[in-house]
Amino acid sequence: MTGTLKRIVKRTLPGLYRRLQQTRQHYALRRLGRRLRPVEEAVVGAQGLVVQSGPFRGMAYINRALGSMILPKLVGSYESELHGAIEMAIAKGFERVVNIGCGEGYYAVGLARRLPRARVWAFDTDGAARSACRKLAEQNGVAERVQIQGACGPEELRKLTVEPALVVCDCEGYELALLVPTNFSQPRACEIIVELHDAMDAKISETILARFAATHAAEAYEQTARDPRAYPGLHGLSAEHQLLAVDEFRSAGIRWAYLVPKQTGVAARPVKEPHDQ
């Protein structure tokens, strides 16, 4: 379908256009799955379903990821831009974590393991994600401290921030509506790690950083390339399979921010290279 025809169909037959796009994405994912299957078999066969490096090294994993690729999570390269921020937040010893958009539980369960005194509230509007997160929590022996819920709105966020909290947010653009200082009971007592979906609204980063400028120091992180050589568990694979194992297959321009209350310290420094923790 040519570019002109695509625009005409999108404008005049939006329902058909959406179905065509969904079909195209479905077959693209099937093709990608066929390419990744031998890589997954090699990684799991050699290392098992266990996170091999990064801040959540040693976490037992399930056999799928929701809304992301499983291989970077098993390898430990997943969102390596945030590894330094995650370690800094963990060092603060938070006893309350709010994970908005938890997926299958990579951050919710990983932080529960690293913060043994913490209670974690994990939110996701996808029922399959909530079920997977529950399974991952049980598998890692932290289910009693991980409370899994559906949508997180302003009321839920206010209730959960009456005490100091670490908020980890990846909610596909909803951060623009939710992350407002007045939605936090104690904004100055909370640290926020958020994925900024500027592809959905170009003003998300600018708006959120401006909202918290008076109370928080902010560090922004841009998406960077992965170096498979940094992950020893991949050394037995071909160069092509190593690259596929750390590829998160994200669109360009992904950004994150780490917001730290100004009275408690400075923001995290960017992580230049992924590395084992």
- Position 4 scores a pLDDT of 53
79-to-86, 94, 146, 177, 248 alpha-carbon distances in Å: 10, 21, 22, 23, 8
- Residues forming beta bridges with residue 216, ordered by sequence position: 261
The answer to whether residue 19 scores a pLDDT higher than 90 is no
- Contact (CB, 8 A) for 266 and 222: no
Q: How far apart are CA 236 and CA 258, in angstroms?
A: 35
How high is the mean pLDDT of the chain? Answer: 87
Tens of pLDDT, residues 148-202? 999 999 999 999 999 999 999 999 899 999 999 999 999 999 999 999 999 888 9
Domains of the chain: 3-35 (no CATH), 48-261 (3.40.50.150)
Give the helix/strand (H/E) hosting 15.
Answer: helix 14-47
- Look up the pTM and report it: 0.84
The two three-digit tokens of residue 166, written as one number: 């670490």
pLDDT digits (tens, 9 = 90+) for 214-261: 999 999 999 999 999 999 889 889 999 999 999 988 877 789 999 999
Q: Note the pLDDT of residue 30.
A: 61
Any residues with CB less than 8 A from the CB of 6 and at least 6 apart, and which? Answer: 17
Q: How many CA atoms lie within 13 A of 106 on its CB side?
A: 28
Burial (CB count <10 Å: 0-12, 13-18, 19+), residue 255: middle
